[in-house]
C-alpha cells in the first residue's frame, strides 16, 4: 500500500486558533477598536511560509440580534483590511433553540502570507467564538 503523499496531512500539524469577540465595532474601514486577533502566522525570518485556512467557524454564545461578524486580514504592518462579513440572524437561545452558528469553508484553502494576522469583530456587542482551522506550511 502506498504511503500518504499529501504533504499537508502527512507532515504539517493542524492549527486550531480561537478567540471571542464581544464588543461592537461598526467600522468597515479597519478603524476603531475591539479587534480580536485570532491567529498570526509565523514570520518568514522564523521559518514560516504562510498559513492555510481550511475553515472559520462563528458560534454565538448568547442570544443575538440582526448584525454582522467581520473577518479581517492584517499584513505585516498594522493595516487591517476587511476580508468578509457574515450576516448574523436574530436568535433567542433556549433549551430547544441553539445559538447562531455559521461556518465558512475554503475548498482550496485560503493562503495567508507569513507574518499576517487574521482578526474578527462584531457589529453588535454580542459574544461570538471565532474558530480558525488550518495549518502553517
Place of cell 450576516: 87
Closest CA to 86 of 73, 107, 70, 72: 70
Burial class of 68 by CB neighbour count within 10 A (0 to 12, 13 to 18, 19+): middle
Q: Is 50 left (phi over 0), alpha (psi -120 to 50) or beta?
A: left
- Say how many CA atoms lie within 13 Å of 108 toward its Cβ: 0
pLDDT, tens digit only, all 137 positions of the chain: 454 444 445 456 789 999 999 999 999 999 988 999 999 887 766 667 888 999 999 999 999 999 999 999 999 778 899 999 999 999 999 999 999 999 999 988 899 998 899 999 999 999 999 999 999 87
Look at residue 74 in the predicted model and tell me its pLDDT: 94
Look at residue 117 in the predicted model and tell me its pLDDT: 93
Fold of 13-136: Jelly Rolls (2.60.120)
Domain residue spans of the chain: 13-136
Amino acid at each position: 500500500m502506498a504511503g500518504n503523499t499529501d504533504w499537508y496531512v502527512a507532515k504539517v500539524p493542524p492549527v486550531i486558533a480561537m478567540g471571542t469577540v464581544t464588543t461592537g465595532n461598526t467600522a468597515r474601514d479597519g478603524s476603531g477598536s475591539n479587534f480580536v486577533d485570532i491567529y498570526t502566522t509565523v514570520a518568514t525570518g522564523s521559518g514560516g511560509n504562510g498559513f492555510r485556512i481550511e475553515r472559520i467557524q462563528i458560534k454565538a454564545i448568547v442570544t443575538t440580534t440582526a448584525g454582522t461578524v467581520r473577518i479581517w486580514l492584517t499584513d505585516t504592518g498594522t493595516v487591517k483590511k476587511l476580508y468578509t462579513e457574515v450576516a448574523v440572524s436574530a436568535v433567542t437561545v433556549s433549551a430547544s433553540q441553539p445559538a447562531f452558528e455559521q461556518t465558512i469553508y475554503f475548498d482550496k484553502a485560503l493562503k495567508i502570507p507569513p507574518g499576517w494576522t487574521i482578526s474578527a469583530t462584531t457589529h453588535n456587542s454580542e459574544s461570538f467564538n471565532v474558530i480558525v482551522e488550518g495549518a502553517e506550511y
